[in-house]
């Protein structure tokens, strides 16, 4: 696997780069050699943040962790990425079985089922999707106290989703 390591508000030294690659190389057994991991290291208000994104055909594996030190954050993000891979193993295998994204040993290997957690839908809800613009949808979402809101765009008549980001700003997801 190839690594693209970028730093923001932190100098990516050779030692930090070597530790990051050696820890993330634990995940190489799951991917083929032509995959590339995007690694962003940053420091914000004494928090060391690492964000790792590994694009795969039709999806991506992503994890973000923060800690008091960058080395602790690296350890935590590797654990999260490995749990994601094991948790979504069946979905990923079915989608990418013959496309060369994963090594054949990962596809054929049986993991312990105690790592796999089933997805359980505990509540279902139907509601009318009202035509409105994105700003109205954000206001409606705020009034309801939700973290996202589904609406029909009054101009394009397409379904859209507005959501509240971690930084307090809003995001918009539009269908293509």
Per the model's pLDDT, the better-predicted residue between 46 and 96 turns out to be 46
Residue 50 and residue 67: Cα distance in Å, rounded?
9
Which of 92, 94, 74 lies closest to 84, judged by CA? 92
Computed over every residue of the chain, the mean pLDDT equals 81
Residue 28 and residue 52: Cα distance in Å, rounded?
14
Strand order in the sheet with 2-8: 2-8, 36-44, 47-56, 59-67
Comparing 13-17, 57-61, 62-66, the range with the smallest average pLDDT is 57-61
Task: Average the pLDDT over 159-169 and give the result.
Answer: 91
In this structure, the dihedral spanned by the alpha carbons of residues 123, 172, 145 and 66, taken in order and rounded to 10 degrees, is 90
Angstrom distances, CA of residue 40 to CA of 9, 31, 71, 104: 11, 20, 14, 29
Give the model's confidence band at 60: pLDDT under 50 very low, under 70 low, under 90 confident, else very high: confident
Task: Note if the pTM is more than 0.75.
Answer: no
β-pairing, 36-44 with 47-56? Answer: antiparallel
């Amino acid at each position: 696997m190839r690594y693209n390591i970028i730093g923001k508000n932190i100098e990516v030294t050779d030692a930090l780069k070597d530790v990051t690659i050696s820890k993330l190389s634990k995940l190489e057994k799951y991917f083929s050699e032509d995959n590339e991991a995007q690694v962003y290291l940053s420091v914000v208000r004494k928090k060391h943040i690492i964000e790792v994104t590994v694009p795969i055909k039709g999806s991506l594996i992503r994890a973000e962790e923060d800690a008091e030190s960058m080395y602790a954050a690296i350890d935590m993000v590797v654990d999260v990425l490995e749990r994601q891979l094991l948790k979504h193993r069946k979905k990923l295998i079915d989608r990418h079985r013959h496309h060369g994204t994963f090594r054949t040993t990962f596809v054929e290997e049986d993991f312990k089922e105690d790592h796999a957690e089933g997805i359980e839908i505990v509540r279902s809800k139907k509601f009318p999707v009202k035509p409105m613009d994105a700003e109205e949808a954000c206001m409606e979402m705020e009034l309801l106290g939700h973290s996202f809101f589904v609406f029909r765009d009054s101009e394009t008549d397409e379904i859209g989703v507005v959501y509240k980001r971690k930084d307090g700003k809003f995001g918009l997801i539009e269908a293509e």
